[in-house]
Structure 1
């Protein structure tokens, strides 16, 4: 047990340094994405538990997910498995399962699994608007309450048509207010274009044209983007891409 605890402590230290080096390259210390200390420490603790679980069992402690589940919502951490095998003493207070505001996810499950956070406050805000959009479309011949076109196939939402106020969606990356979009299928999505453009500018490197630019945000923080379209680099800026 002492050896396991020592190994976990060392792993957390190494992971802390690696994550600090990632986030520090684009953001000042006081603006590091995911600056909530409790949530940040929880990611490190759960990452260590996931690594140890995989090392011992050859599997990942994840809940079953449908194939159609969006990329950055798909693999939820199964805290029950981690607790039953004594890899985690308790569920983090930041986790939804313990009354917190975040869903703990695993990405890159087939290569180098990483623990990330899904902001459920933003997720719920998007879901609430989605319900209003669905009601509007059902009474208006499946037409969207669309405002201006933001990208091909994506428009802003005219909240006046919905008879509702636009929610304040705060970016977990930059703390700026983000807009909501609606695509031709009536799906409500968060527009992370401004965050991606900022990250690309600060990196000083132009992205390859066929790369999903959301990956930049994931690599530079503890968070995954919530209910968002994929983005590609086109004409010197991020461009939202319709899903298939």
Structure 2
């Protein structure tokens, strides 16, 4: 479905095979969309504790993490997928979590902070698939029109995505953490992103900004307070009491 996309950067390519498998599962009825997600959501925290324990034991035994290989330039929050085969074959996990993609669910289990203290988090696949579809439409529009469907500028080289120009019904991009509807952005490169500023602001209002350094990527704080990682995201910095986007070239 997405193998023919002409990505402007290579870092989305490692998930192509994953999304093709996801599409087959959706079409074959192995995944029941919102029903599966709703059924498993309350247990996500419990599953994370169980998988975290297995990951910790695996690393203690082997000295390495039970992860699947990815390209070095894969986005940080989409880079370290947990390999459940390694955990089950090592008898550290009796079964794959029922909310996981591998077991017909809608979550991919990933690791963050792998160099310091690896932590288990989730990536929401329905959200990811929505963005794959939007990215395809943006590239097709650019190729046909010779321009990008830019709306209001929100940062240097980053704009709200104008769905009217795409002649596409504006999708509901719902945060798996807060339930808020999040905007979609397009960069001058043509790459699309989710704007997590609303989620970050909600967390910052709770935690306060007194200890936040000027170079802190606010996504780290969001991840620390959340079950889900911010897929399809750009970095944020705390500037003038607000989370400000930093584009892929390091400019805010």
- TM-score for both structures, normalised by structure 1: 0.83
Moved more, 200-209 or 63-72: 200-209
Higher Rg of the two aligned structures: 1
Partner of 2:80: 75
In the alignment, what sits opposite 1:44?
49
1:187-243 deviation per Cα after TM superposition (whole angstroms, max 9, x unaligned): 110000111122112212242111100111100011111101100111221111011
Contact in 1 for aligned 2:124/2:228 (Cα 8 Å): yes
- Counting matched residue pairs gives 209
Q: 2:184 aligns with which of 153, 177, 180?
A: 180
Report 1:152-231 matches (<5 A).
152-206=156-210, 207-231=212-236
1:95 maps to 2:100: yes
Distance 2:57 2:89 in 1: 13
The answer to whether the aligner puts 1:58 opposite 2:55 as a matched pair is no
SS in structure 2 at match of 1:36 = helix
> Take 1:95 and 1:214, find their aligned partners in 2: how far apart are those partners?
23
Partners of 2:174 and 2:181 within 8 A in 1: yes
Distance 2:58 2:118 in 1: 12
SS at structure 1 position matched to 2:186 = strand
* Kept in 1: contact 2:66–2:84 (CA 8 A): yes
Higher relative contact order (CA 8 A, sep 6+): 1
Contiguous gaps of at least 5 residues in structure 1: 1-34
Instruction: Output the TM-score relative to the length of structure 2.
Output: 0.80
Asked if structure 2 preserves the Cα contact closer than 8 Å seen for 1:123 and 1:226, the reply is yes
Separation (CA, whole Å) in 2 of partners of 1:200 and 1:208: 13
Cα distance in structure 2, aligned partners of 1:216 and 1:139? 40
Query: Aligned to 2:47, what secondary structure does the other structure show?
Result: helix
Cα offsets for 1:38-96 (capped at 9, x unmatched): 22111111101101111111111000010110000001000011111111111111111
RMSD after superposition: 1.2
What is the aligned partner in structure 2 of residue 237 from structure 1?
242
2:152 to 148, 155, 158: 148
Q: Alpha-carbon deviation of 1:160?
A: 1.1
